[in-house]
Amino acid sequence: MCGIFGGIMKDGNVAPIIHQALKRLEYRGYDSVGEATIYGEKLYIKKDCGKIDEVHKIHNLDSLPGNIGIGHTRWATHGAPSEINAHPHIDCGGQIAIVHNGIIENFAELKLELENKGHIFKSRTDTEVIAHLIEEAYKNNPSIRLADAVLETVRKLEGSYAIAVISSREPNKIVCARNESPLVLGLGENALYCASDIPAFLPLTNKAVIIEDGELVTLSLEGYEIRKIADSSIVTRAPKIIDWTPEMAVKQGYPHFMLKEIHEQPACLRNTLRLQEHYLDLMTTFLDRAREVFLVACGTSYHACLAASYMFSKLAFLATYPVIASEFIEQHGKSVNIESTILAVSQSGETADTLAAVNAARQRAATILGLTNVVGSTLTRVSRVYIIQQSGPEIGVAATKTFTSQLSVLAQLALRLAKKRGKISQDEMDFLEAKLKQIPDIVAKIIEKQEENVKAVAKKYRDAKVFFFLGRGISTATAYEGRLKLIEIAYVPAIAFPAGESKHGPISLVEQGFPVVFICPKDETHRTIIGNIMEMKARGATIIAIIEEGDEEVKKLADDYIEVPKGVPDVLSPIPFVIPLQLLAYYMAVEKGHNPDVPKNLAKSVTVK
Ligand code: M6R
């Protein structure tokens, strides 16, 4: 996730406006920043890695001349944070500058083609191909308009993008386009803006036009023109008046970052399906070779590991050991060795307990693999191979979108490993891959259809003193995660167990009205979980069930139920089934008057042991 901005003004210098807009977009990424402007038919650029204030201090971003320009604040996906990889990117001739938010899936093929045609690339980003493709369009047709050159270019791109382009060949225009990454226009008095989101220009204008997927826009001082990328047809869309307060604006109208991040999950999950095959394959090879594999993490990331241990076992017949990082050294520190592989999972890549476990294992020559959300984090530096999960910055202390993204990446690894080991047929592989592709839409549907329902459930149980979360099989991980969310932001004590274990002790707590949340996908565990529900009901428990649509059997037993679409294979089920639990924790916290974004005593990144 990155932030892009473009501005064209009748009078005055645009650079300070871009700078301030980027500050308002900084929550979307903050590892590098850059601006490009045009003045006197010449392109000017300043960019570097570091936070906006740091880069501004060194380079004085505001000193760029001209009334038209673009800017970018980066959250690295392809290529580490560095001056060269910072946006804007330019073509060989230094006439075209581009900023981009998204992932170009086919950049490697395009880059090769362009290199064969003589283009010289400077960065390791996927974005740079766009600048060279536009240059190529000009080469093929010197009289082409910038808008048409960009149109030709975006038709060749696969993946997600919101881009803004300027060219000294047509110094009075900004061309922007969108596919699966957000883009909005701001209409000022004597100025026009394009941005990743509304807060970027809200202090300047509250008149906005939302750009949709598959649209290209040309901005000039005369106004804006929207066209469809597919057939170049003109689109007419009236502006909207935005009445957000500045605080609401940063959260895009959501009351809290946590809710915004829950809603971002379909987009983040789509990003996980665009990971570079090369890294997935490389990690799969290491997992395949390993004599023993430890999945090491803390908190929510540990729950992703727990779910992954079921995925690896069921799909690839690989036994893995999920270990809470703070226990790793005590439990395995003496036995871990050169033949051991540690897959460390950490959203931040900076969690002290996880890094301590990794360092102990490294000292004993174990192979370290990393899954993280933060390029350049310590975990990436100590890992032999690492994968960036592409969730974008997560501000809410409670992990939500980063959890489901971790699950998606781990499922892809398990599937690849299964294929490599010949453990599943091509038909099964195709089926599971197709299901994985449907997951973002399934998650979107759950949020759309069930949010109000979950809100009502949260209201009903707001005074409950304690909760049970029970699941079987892979849903045990979902139950643990539902419990953690509720504890950490709603401050409600909660207990989670594999449902089969509850009769070995925890059931003694149950009395009339005791709320028990059951995770009930219609997988092999369904029959037995019904038995567990009966056991709880017999002792007076109140049952809240997360079920598949149309699961009449559990519906009859439950006091309240939340439905998720049917047909999700068990190995993928934690992704959709955790969504209602995230919403439940969120609305319970809100009902109780707590701010879910900043739970007491907690930090987003726990850098002490
Ligand atoms: O950055 P990490 O994934 O390593 O963080 C691990 C835990 O600190 C984190 O998941 C924590 O439990 C969250 N607050 C859970 O919502």
State the closest ligand 1 atom to the C-alpha of 300, by its place in the atom list counted from 1. Answer: 10
Q: Round to whole Å and give the CA distance between 481 and 303.
A: 6
Strand partners, 292: 340
CA 338 / ligand 1 centre spacing (Å): 28
CA 412 / ligand 1 centre spacing (Å): 22
Minimal-distance CA residue to ligand 1 atom 11: 299
Could you give the dihedral angle defined by the CA atoms of residues 576, 503, 586 and 608, in that order, rounded to the nearest 10 degrees?
Answer: -100
Runs of H (alpha helix) within 463-573: 475-485, 526-538, 552-557
Q: Are 154 and 179 in contact (CB under 8 A)?
A: yes
| Single-letter amino acid code for the residue at 52 | I
Minimal-distance CA residue to ligand 1 atom 8: 299
Q: Round to whole Å and give the CA distance between 165 and 168.
A: 10
Question: Which of 581, 369, 590 is closest to 484 using CA atoms?
Answer: 581
pLDDT, averaged in runs of 10, over the chain (609 residues)? 92 96 85 95 94 93 97 83 93 97 93 97 95 97 97 96 96 95 92 92 92 96 96 94 74 91 96 91 96 97 98 97 97 96 95 95 97 87 93 90 98 97 94 97 98 98 96 98 97 96 89 96 95 94 97 97 97 98 98 92 74
Domains along the chain with CATH numbers = 3-250 (3.60.20.10), 254-424 (3.40.50.10490), 450-603+605-609 (3.40.50.10490)
State the closest ligand 1 atom to the C-alpha of 397, by its place in the atom list counted from 1. Answer: 14
| Single-letter amino acid code for the residue at 76 | A
Q: How far is CA 606 from the centre of its chain?
A: 20
Question: Which of 361, 359, 339, 362 is closest to 290 using CA atoms?
Answer: 339
Question: Which of 95, 101, 74, 76 is closest to 211 using CA atoms?
Answer: 101
Minimal-distance CA residue to ligand 1 atom 7: 299
State the closest ligand 1 atom to the C-alpha of 298, by its place in the atom list counted from 1. Answer: 6
Minimal-distance CA residue to ligand 1 atom 14: 398
116: exposed, middle or buried (Cβ count in 10 Å: 0-12, 13-18, 19+)? exposed
CA distances to 174, 227, 251, 525 from 235, in Å = 17, 5, 28, 51
CA 577 / ligand 1 centre spacing (Å): 19
Minimal-distance CA residue to ligand 1 atom 16: 398
What's residue 31's pLDDT? 85
Residues with CB under 6 A from ligand 1: 298-301, 346-348, 351, 354, 397-399, 484, 488, 602, 605-606
| Single-letter amino acid code for the residue at 360 | A
Residues 6+ positions from 275 with CB-CB distance below 8 Å: 387, 390, 409, 412
Q: Round to whole Å and give the CA distance between 249 and 251.
A: 5
In the block, tokens 């010289």 appear at 120
Active site residues: 2, 604
What's residue 257's pLDDT? 94
Tokens at 152, concatenated = 């030709």
Q: Are 137 and 167 in contact (CB under 8 A)?
A: no
Q: Round to whole Å and give the CA distance between 535 and 506.
A: 12
- In our burial notation (b when 16+ CB lie closer than 10 A, e otherwise), range 219-232 reads bbeeebebbebeee
Among 300, 380, 402, residue to substitute to test ligand 1 (most atoms within 8 Å of Cβ): 300
CA 360 / ligand 1 centre spacing (Å): 20
Q: Round to whole Å and give the CA distance between 570 and 561.
A: 19
State the closest ligand 1 atom to the C-alpha of 348, by its place in the atom list counted from 1. Answer: 1
State the closest ligand 1 atom to the C-alpha of 402, by its place in the atom list counted from 1. Answer: 3
Q: Are 503 and 531 in contact (CB under 8 A)?
A: no
SS (H, E, C) 95-161: CEEEEEEEEECCHHHHHHHHHHCCCCCCCCCCCHHHHHHHHHHHHHCCCCCHHHHHHHHHCCCCEEE
* Cis amide linkage into residue 498, ω under 30° from 0: no
Tokens at 114, concatenated = 């362009």
CA 263 / ligand 1 centre spacing (Å): 19
Q: Round to whole Å and give the CA distance between 367 and 72.
A: 36
Q: Quick one: which H or E segment has residue 562? A: strand 560-564
Minimal-distance CA residue to ligand 1 atom 9: 299
Residues 6+ positions from 515 with CB-CB distance below 8 Å: 461, 464, 466, 467, 468, 541, 542, 544
Strand ranges, E, within 415-514: 467-471, 494-498
Angle between helices 401-420 and 574-591 (to 10 degrees): 170
What's residue 609's pLDDT? 67
State the closest ligand 1 atom to the C-alpha of 297, by its place in the atom list counted from 1. Answer: 4
CA 196 / ligand 1 centre spacing (Å): 27
Q: Round to whole Å and give the CA distance between 306 and 471.
A: 13
Among 262, 348, 581, residue to substitute to test ligand 1 (most atoms within 8 Å of Cβ): 348
Strand partners, 193: 7, 186
Q: Are 103 and 159 in contact (CB under 8 A)?
A: yes
Minimal-distance CA residue to ligand 1 atom 12: 299
Q: Are 527 and 487 in contact (CB under 8 A)?
A: no
CA 400 / ligand 1 centre spacing (Å): 10
What's residue 608's pLDDT? 67
State the closest ligand 1 atom to the C-alpha of 354, by its place in the atom list counted from 1. Answer: 4
CA 300 / ligand 1 centre spacing (Å): 5
CA 414 / ligand 1 centre spacing (Å): 22
Question: Which of 195, 323, 198 is closest to 252 using CA atoms?
Answer: 198
In the block, tokens 């549907």 appear at 445
Among 296, 346, 347, 379, residue to substitute to test ligand 1 (most atoms within 8 Å of Cβ): 347
Q: Are 311 and 573 in contact (CB under 8 A)?
A: no
Minimal-distance CA residue to ligand 1 atom 4: 346
